[in-house]
Amino acid sequence: MTRSLQGRVAVVTGAGSGIGRAIASRLAEDTARIAIWDINGEGAEETARLIRDAGGTAIAVTADCSDKAAIEAAAARTRTELGPIAILVNNAGIAPFTRFLETSDDEFDKVIRINLRGPWLITRHVLPDMIEAKWGRVINITSSSVQTGSPMQGAYVSSKGGLVGMTKALALEFAASGVTFNMIPPGFVDTPMLRASPVDIDTFARTLPMKRVGTPEDIAAAAAYLASEEASYITGQVISTNGGRYMGSH
């Protein structure tokens, strides 16, 4: 069955590259109209061009997705050019590798601001559109590091753990509204962010049950399902897309 999103407006943050780009492209294939919010304006424009070249509808919005004024401006432009927001994918984030005792207060605050406060602010700003429509999808990209832990990523894991808790709390609060809140913790996914990390990708891949790294398209497929009509009875859930790296209920 074709999963048509009936032209609903989707905001995907951090969609200038990697997982965000793949999610934006997949939702566009499923007929959503896409607003790409990214601090990297060139990357956002490239994603929008790729979607339009494939026959989809997309706009690129250069915005710091952790800044309240920028979020309000991005949402206003999105509503003006595309319409009320029905789908939100909170994907923008940073993932520094720093030893715990060497992590400065400023670095910790920056990670929390981008990875947790940003999704909090964006969700709060766009949720009224969904409540009014009695239909909405909020999909938060968390991290498998919350499930397994990750050395040298104390700030990152803390921020993503907070996002997990936020997702569950809002899923309960708005369960009867027609708006669902779910999360995807990517496993080991081949992205520019991963390539820039100190991880030996090929060696680590051999330790995974499927013996391969994931692709951004793997995450996009899970997001497309959660955004679809078929997922209307799923909320507060974790769709672990990780090639068998972690099997659990959290």
Candidates 186, 181, 195, 247; CA nearest to 216 is 186
Looking at 156, 225, 233, 246, which residue is catalytic?
A: 156
Q: Where are the alpha helices (DSSP H) in the chain?
A: 18-29, 41-53, 68-81, 105-112, 118-133, 145-148, 154-173, 192-195, 201-205, 216-227
d(CA 24, CA 87): 11
Q: Are the C-beta atoms of residues 34 and 57 closer than 8 Å to each other?
A: yes
Token pair, residue 124, equals: 């709060």
d(CA 9, CA 28): 10
Query: In what helix (H) or strand (E) does residue 180 lie, and over which residues does it extend?
Result: strand 179-184
**Residue 54 burial by Cβ neighbours in a 10 Å radius (0-12, 13-18, 19+):** exposed
User: Is 156 a catalytic site residue?
Assistant: yes
CA dihedral 95, 100, 105, 107 (to 10 degrees): -20
Catalytic site positions:
156
